[in-house]
Structure 1
């Protein structure tokens, strides 16, 4: 069987075990080669090859429903459902998505980009099936990292109570993006290393190898399952939720996986199949990775494992700028602590964790808890900094509103990966946080245009006694460490202008310097305003701008509804200030995946489109005169 000959999962159902094992080798080789060219999620997909093959061998999509938690590990599923020829377009504009996508294939029953959603979605599908008297299997696949999410726990609670038939595959690789943390991970570690566990693992293997499929296997499996439940599981989460359990199963042993899944399929009610896999399986660089560096990768050399993306000299990622400033401030103020929900590597907080191990807290995949934990620290004189990707911050809206802002607590929130993020697409674009937070009282919202302003905003944030957000994008910026910090006036904007100007542009973040650079090169008669605070806004400068009666472009790379332009128009309307505004930003739709230049052009937010608009406004003005 050649992977390029697979048009649907039916094509593998008549293969022998040796043929399936050969297919797994091909898939791993293909994944390494393909992802090295496009970038994407590598380790998680290498770890789930045999499991995905076994699932499609036993179950039948699209009738049966597969829900991959988060969805970034669905590459093998895409190969087995006839999409291998599209992999050169992976994560590119109008190409194959990096996650399950319902409009991409009938085999994609669910789509997500955030963790811990699969069990709730699966229960909904199972109950809908039962209400409609239909007959199909519901198979969510959830990892040990995602299982620590509160939403997964809520779903398990109801799954155990409703007893609707489903096969829950617990993909246990002892890793999420980076190493898991917390009491639940410790419980799973005890389960993996316990004597009953290892004895029962051999019993399970013997039961499967010595019995044919059918009632005899089910009887043998039930005896093993009952022994597990009596000796191991009642001390873990599954027994507490009254869920039946089969496992542990070697996630890279195809023969065993297929037999276990066949029998789980015949089980009445919900059952957990505990599968042990190795993240990055088959590629030494990914297998040995403990920091999450091979979780999501850019283009790389498959032979050396070296990335092909090079950092420009004198640049750091925005995350590193924030992290280095946090370390410097924490050296001066022992009250400062750092918090992350499972993103030590992504948020570049590793150095902070190494230098201040007693003041650094990884809460696991639990944004809600992390935010209220920060609020609790702030009530007791500690100065918490919490770094959260903008896309994941959405999960903590209630905690920011109810627990942080309502009590007006001095929590500094670093909103990483704000704005359009590119290839990960609509589940990961960080374009909603300004809209989400601007209506909440007591909040201060900001974004720096460069590394100097970022450092000064961090310094300013820790001088305040109110909730303070600093958003920063994916990507790099020129960096030089400040010797002395300068506090910034809350709500203040700055501006730059040509000697004479006819159009005013209000924008924020790195776009400020991009537009200034373009204006200098093309001698555009513009004034560029750096609106570094979204809340409060600089009303004095805004009133001065309105008094000039010049065309004003508000240029924002986030959602227009509720964003910077909304704040400006509200103030202008309430204070009866008349001027002409043109709003550029993302309108009422989700933005697809693709490169940042492609997406900006698609949304008419590229600098060339802005320049054309400026020239058109100038021509119109001259023509009118």
Structure 2
């Protein structure tokens, strides 16, 4: 056993290549075992084990800064940086975070949960190193999917100026740039990364400057060099952006990785090292179906069978409703930002391939593209996880709301999720409610989601439908009344007890709290399903508050900006009794099981009933 002796990257120094390969196998075993129980991102992290071993062997981290874009691929990094045992608590409340996190370890940089950030951060680090005269390197490990993100391109454009200490490692696990072109590419790669070649190149440059017309001669040599690399190597586009391109190399060959990175460490940046890896390597089920094993809730190691949610889910209901909407209206189109499967659009894509657009990890483009489709007469439904829609705020305002384009935004994963602060969708209402003319809805059940999607289509104006991950506790036979713009639904008419407003599935939390209060003899509560967060039903809020009974809100959102704020605004100049709010507090919410988080922060029916009952 080698892994039990590795407590920091410094412990890799004395290991031979053979021993490192055995260590890689032990790391994979730990990753598979932990993710099978706890859930997590399996495929990408299995594919980067040798790469991360080589990076920690060659570079001096944390003095050299190692960044991951995104942290899906960083489990081996966590294991090698003193968190071997802690890693076994992956994604558990109070345990190891699912992504690199600066608050967890000095070896992590920033919060690595959203794509496209690593290159820009690394360019900033490189500029800081250059300004201080530091020899340390900023190394950004970027997946081929994240390279499509517009922010990655922005960072690369600026790297030519500020990237002297910058190395970008392109982890290409889908071969989306270009396939290896064989022995000549390997030979030229070894040549241009070698110290002899680069010393010779610098010597020739110095000699040329002593000759007449040296600039013309230098341009001719540069054009010849670029021509040869363009013929034999797939990286000419990176060279044009100012990077020295090296690759592609086998990301599972430790000898190749160590040799290349040791040479690269001595070169001046910016440098891009193109590494080919295989998602799911070491676990056949994940290797065969990398998309299914990208992010999992857990699985049976022997059979590969994934743990799945019981019963219907909002994402599935959305997908089914989209198919029906697409069948009824040929102008309906679906847009996803690299989350076709995650948002439930698989069936729509299969049935209407010409009307389903996966734009990659480009949320701003997705929303503005939707605005363009709408301007061209189509009816786009843009499905994006809440946490990622934050990136598209300006696009929503500038390209959808201002021109009043009938774009429907489907906000999946609205609310807290297991992955933690980089993925909690608890801030969306804070920026959506403030946009004039944008209708914002939150369904309490899968059936109500279907009605809201139809309502948004008929509205013919900008609209957003926000719903959480998983499903609701609603009875499938439950009657859902028709929607009226800006009108809430009183789902339980009480008498002398508090008035509880709720949105989304928290309506069922409120109903259970009302039941508990009545059983305890604390009065008969009124429960209101807000339905619309914008426009909010201020008329009903003022009418129910006029009796002076306590009023409360329950929401899977931060207390500021969401339902609580909407109610406060409605009651600001109206008579009312005591007001209490139940939502996520003004602090960073950690990762962990959502049920555990709700218990800790007092968002369960029992906690709501106890606090209201004490009034």
Q: Provide the TM-score with structure 2 as the length reference.
A: 0.91
Listed as ranges, the gaps of 5+ residues in structure 1 are 176-184, 618-625
> CA deviation digits over 1:44-63, x for unaligned, max 9?
10000000000011011111
Per the alignment, in what secondary structure is the counterpart of residue 171 of structure 1? strand
Most deviating of 531-540 and 256-265: 531-540
The separation in 1 between residues aligned to 2:431 and 2:515, in whole angstroms, is: 35
Find the aligned partners of 1:547 and 1:232 in 2 and give their Cα distance. Answer: 77
1:340–1:388 Cα contact (<8 Å) kept: yes
1:58 aligns with 2:58: yes
For each residue in 1:380-407, what CA deviation from the matched residue of structure 2 results, as whole angstroms up to 9, or x when unmatched?
A: 2211001000000001000001110011
The whole-number CA distance in structure 2 between the counterparts of 1:173 and 1:225 is 28
Call closer, same or farther: CA 1:229–1:206 in 2, change over 3 Å.
closer
Q: Are 2:425 and 1:438 equivalent residues in the alignment? A: no
1:10 aligns with 2:5: no
Aligned CA distance change for structure 1 residues 362 and 321 (closer, same or farther; 3 Å): same
Residue 478 of structure 1: CA displacement?
A: 6.2
Cα distance in 1 between the residues matched to 2:510 and 2:225: 64
Q: Does 1:192 align with 2:179?
A: yes
In structure 2, C-alpha distance between the alignment counterparts of 1:483 and 1:236, rounded to whole Å: 60
Distance 2:139 2:343 in 1: 32
Is residue 143 of structure 1 aligned with residue 143 of structure 2? yes
The corresponding residue for 1:623 is: none
Instruction: Provide the rounded CA distance (Å) in 1 between the counterparts of 2:357 and 2:228.
Output: 34
What is the aligned partner in structure 2 of residue 558 from structure 1? 557
2:388 is aligned to 392
Instruction: Report the CA distance between 1:578 and its aligned residue.
Output: 3.5
Q: Quick one: which of 547, 559, 583 aligns to 2:581?
A: 583
The equivalent of 1:532 in structure 2 is 531
Determine the structure 2 residue equivalent to 1:542.
Answer: 541
Q: Distance in 2 between matches of 1:294 and 1:466?
A: 38
For the pair 1:572 / 2:571, whether they are aligned, the reply is yes
Q: 1:376 is paired with a residue of what secondary structure?
A: helix
The CA distance in 2 between the partners of 1:234 and 1:86, in whole Å, is: 40
How many angstroms apart in 2 are the aligned matches of 1:103 and 1:491? Answer: 42
SS in 2 for 1:63: coil
Work out whether 1:468 is the aligned partner of 2:440: no
Give the secondary structure class of the aligned counterpart of 1:7.
Answer: coil
Within a 5 Å distance, the mapping from 1:150-161 to structure 2 comes to 150-161=150-161
CA distance in 1, matches of 2:602, 2:474: 29
Q: How many residues align?
A: 591
For residue 319 of structure 1, what is the aligned residue in structure 2?
A: 315
Most deviating of 512-521 and 220-229: 220-229
> 2:593 maps to what in 1?
595
How does 1:423-502 map onto structure 2 within 5 Å?
424-477=419-472, 487-497=482-492, 500-502=495-497
User: What is the CA-CA distance between 1:559 and the residue it aligns to?
Assistant: 1.3
- Assess if the C-alpha contact under 8 Å between 1:233 and 1:239 holds in 2: no
Contact 1:410 1:466 in 2 (8 A): yes
Instruction: Mark the runs of 5 or more structure 2 residues left unpaired by the alignment.
Output: 203-221
1:404 to 389, 400, 403: 400
Task: Report the alpha carbon displacement of residue 21 of structure 1 after superposing the two structures with TM.
Answer: 0.7
Quick check: 2:553–2:581 contact (8 Å CA) kept in 1? yes
Alignment equivalent of 1:203, drawn from 182, 187, 194 = 187
Distance apart, 1:523 and its partner CA? 3.0
Which residue pairs with 1:181 in the alignment?
none
Partner of 1:303: 302
SS at match of 1:347: coil
How far apart in 2 are the matches of 1:303 and 1:204? Answer: 43
Moved more, 67-76 or 428-437: 67-76
Contact 1:207/1:221, CA 8 A, preserved across alignment: no
Confirm or deny: 8 A CA contact 1:116 1:151 kept in the other structure. Answer: yes
**Higher deviation after alignment, 197-206 or 138-147:** 197-206
**1:180 aligned residue:** none
Of the structure 1 ranges 341-350 and 473-482, higher mean CA displacement relative to structure 2 is found in: 473-482
Residues of 2 paired with 1:580 and 1:484: CA distance?
Answer: 32
Measured against aligned partners, the alpha-carbon deviations of 1:34-81 in whole angstroms (never above 9, x if no partner) come to 111111111010000000000011011111100001112111001111
Deviation by residue 1:78-126 (Cα, 9 ceiling, x = unmatched): 1111211112211111111111111211111232210010000001001
What SS is found at the alignment partner of 2:249? strand
Shift of 1:164: 1.9
**Cα RMSD between the aligned structures?**
2.5
Deviation at 1:527, TM superposition (A): 1.0
SS in 2 for 1:174: coil
Q: Once the 2 structures are TM-superposed, how far is the Cα of residue 214 of structure 1 from its aligned partner? A: 7.2
Aligned to 2:35: 35
Contact 1:414 1:469 in 2 (8 A): yes
Q: Map 1:514-529 to 2 at 5 A.
A: 514-520=509-515, 523-524=518-519, 525-529=524-528
- For the residues of structure 2 that align with 1:613 and 1:481, how far apart are their CA atoms? 31
**Aligned equivalents of 1:263, 1:251: Cα separation in 2:** 16
Q: How does 1:208-219 map to 2 (within 5 A)?
A: 215-216=195-196
Give per-residue Cα distances to partners, 1:449-507, cap 9 Å, x unaligned.
11221111111000012111001101123689999997511111111336533111111
Evaluate the alpha carbon distance shift between residue 228 and residue 553 of structure 1 in structure 2; reply closer, same or farther with a 3 A threshold. farther
Question: Which sits farther off after the overlay, 548-557 or 470-479?
Answer: 470-479
User: Structure 1's 326 and 492: CA in aligned 2 closer, same or farther, altered over 3 A?
Assistant: same
Q: 1:1-400 counterparts in 2 under 5 A?
A: 2-174=2-174, 185=176, 188=177, 191-192=178-179, 197-203=181-187, 215-216=195-196, 229-232=229-232, 236-290=236-290, 292-309=291-308, 311-312=309-310, 315-400=311-396
Contact (CA 8 Å) 2:321, 2:450: kept in 1 or not?
yes
Query: SS of 1:280's equivalent?
Result: coil
Q: For residues 483 and 506 of structure 1, do their structure 2 counterparts lie closer, same or farther at Cα, with a shift above 3 Å needed?
A: closer
